[in-house]
Amino acid sequence: MSVNNTHLGFEAIKEKLAKCKSVFFIGAGGINMSSLAIITKQRGFKVGGSDRTKTELTERLQKCGIEMHYEHDAANLEGYDAVVYTVAISPDNPEYVRAQEEGLLCLSRADYLGYVMTGYKNRIGICGMHGKSSCTSMCAQLFMDAETDPTVLSGAELASMGGAFRIGGEEFFIFEACEYMDSFLDFNPTVAVILNIEMDHVDYFHSMEQIRRSFADFAAITGKDGYAVANADDGDVLLVMNEYEGNVVTFGVQSEADFVAKNIKYIKGRPDFDIYHKGELYTHISLSVTGEHNVYNALAATAAAWVCGISGEKARSGLASYRGAKRRMEFKGTLMGADVYDDYGHHPTEVKTTLDGVSRMGYDRLWCVFQSHTYSRTSELFDEFVHSFDSADRVIFADIYAARETDTRGMSGEVLADALGSKASYEGGNKEIAKRLHDELRAGDVLIVMGAGDIYKLYDELDLEKGVYP
């Protein structure tokens, strides 16, 4: 069970925060929360935070002068007059309980982020059920290379930013807009980039009608003078656009959109294509990342850049320099001669499009180790998951990452493996998975370790050799 967003709005937050000198972040170790904590510190507040585990991100917070605690304790709030929390915390979190009891200013992460971004002129929010982090990273790289000095807040780390956020000028704010619990409805975009709309987060969303309503409300925040950059190949996105009152710019591969990818070729799985704008050749794109889904991400980034006055030539060069974000088909090295990549994919569409892209890279066999994320998602999208591994030759399922849930649906890695058939197996824990990989991987294979939970801990059991990016 999680807690609710606050929905105070930026004007109320501005008024209340003016009376505060210190801010405490509950769950400060998350990518988004750690970014906000550092931004808050740079704005002159005393900042502290808590999380259960020490990580590179929490150590970075400490290096910035932020006081960190590695257990949730009411005493941690001593000396703080405002609290920012992630909705993933439990209502009985002792810090949250004390903040409520003492009447401290309490702000959900989304509400606070919506306030922070209002200081920027052009606010570009990238939303969609999947692909948000990759597209946000692409936009960041494009805008940085175009020398626009953007401020960026993403859900994934980007090497050229040195992390998941970048403090830049006040002209452009590029941010990932998460739909879970309708968090993105607290944001204040002037440009809404809508990548796709599908069923997901089934513990919160119960119908496609509810999901479309949420995305329509997000787009509407831009106002009549704002822009929506919309995927014209997605029928649900088009339904949302039917009621949008602002300026619509579409992109696609299969439709007659404003920005269209044509003459698509795959060079070792990496897309090479032309972009046409309203029927005229606009630019040529050669990507260093794989898969058709990145054609769509590149189209969306190019269209958003065009809305902001950035030329096709600058889009071409910016996208050419994009090498992918952390845990988005991130090359890790080699194992028994096989190339190993790490990927965050956890929705069936993400899994399918990523594996389809890898299948074009010319490897002998495609192996995937997959950890499903939450029992509810696995159960509600079970059939889609089973078919998302069609491009893989071998699949090993790990235990499902529970996150905020308990198992009441009879879902497990073993159930997934049985449904997939002879090419799949459930090996047990990470040690057992590692043994299977050491025994059977060979030169010419590729391994994708995939999932949004703690599957990255598998690398502690793998004897990876440092390799050169293929």
CATH code, 307: 3.40.1190.10
Task: Indicate if 172 and 301 belong to the same structural domain.
Answer: yes
Among 378, 57, 412, smallest CA distance to 201 is for: 378
Whole-angstrom distance, CA of residue 340 vs CA of residue 468: 11
Say if residue 139 is in the same domain as residue 109.
Answer: no
Report how far residue 373's alpha carbon sits from residue 401's, in angstroms, rounded to the nearest whole number: 5
Q: Are residues 235 and 297 in the same domain?
A: yes
CB-based contact 358:186 (threshold 8 Å) = no
The last residue of a domain, from among 58, 84, 114: 114
Q: Which residue, of 320, 346, 374, is where some domain finishes?
A: 320
Q: Provide the residue range defining the domain that includes 436.
A: 330-460
Question: How far, in Å, CA of 119 to CA of 142, rounded?
Answer: 22
Is 271 within 8 Å of 253 (Cβ atoms)?
A: no
Task: Count how many domains the chain has.
Answer: 3
What is the Cα 133 distance to its own chain's centre?
3
Domain membership of residue 367 (yes or no) is: yes
Is 470 contained in some domain? no
| Residue 148 domain-assigned (yes or no) | yes
* 325 domain residue, yes or no: no
Cβ contact 344:31 at 8 Å: no
Q: Give the pLDDT confidence score for residue 406 in this predicted structure.
A: 84
CB-based burial label for 390 (10 Å; 0-12, 13-18, 19+):
exposed
Output the pLDDT for position 469: 66
Claim to verify: residue 339 and residue 290 sit in the same structural domain: no
Please give the Cα distance from 327 to 302 (Å, whole number).
23
* Residue 466 maps to a domain: no
Judge if 246 and 347 occupy the same domain. Answer: no
Same-domain check for residues 312 and 342? no
Answer yes or no: is 418 within a domain.
yes
The reported pLDDT for the residue numbered 386 is 94
**CATH number of domain containing 347:** 3.90.190.20
Structural domain includes residue 5: no
Do 236 and 174 belong to one domain?
yes
Whether residue 287 sits in one domain with residue 160: yes
Q: Are residues 142 and 267 in the same domain?
A: yes
Cβ-count burial 132-154 (b if 16+ within 10 Å, e if not): bbbbbbbbbbbbbbbebebbbbb
Query: What are the pLDDT tens digits along the chain (470 aa)?
Result: 578 889 999 999 999 999 999 999 999 998 889 989 998 998 999 999 999 999 988 999 999 999 999 999 999 999 999 999 998 899 999 999 999 999 999 999 999 999 999 989 999 999 999 899 999 999 999 999 999 999 999 988 899 998 888 989 999 999 999 898 888 999 999 999 999 999 888 788 899 999 999 999 999 999 999 999 999 999 999 999 999 999 999 999 999 999 999 999 999 889 999 999 999 999 999 999 998 999 999 999 999 999 999 999 999 999 999 998 888 889 999 999 999 999 999 999 989 989 999 999 999 999 999 999 999 999 999 999 999 999 999 999 999 999 878 888 889 999 999 999 999 999 999 999 999 999 999 999 999 999 999 999 999 999 898 876 66
Q: Which of 16, 20, 26 is nearest to 98 (CA)?
A: 26
Would you say 202 and 376 are in contact if contact means Cβ atoms under 8 Å apart?
yes
154 lies in the same domain as 303: yes
Rounded to the nearest angstrom, the gap between the alpha carbon of residue 94 and the centroid of all alpha carbons in its chain is 29
Co-location of 102 and 136 in the same domain? no
End position of a domain, from candidates 96, 114, 132: 114
Tell me: do 165 and 273 sit in the same domain: yes
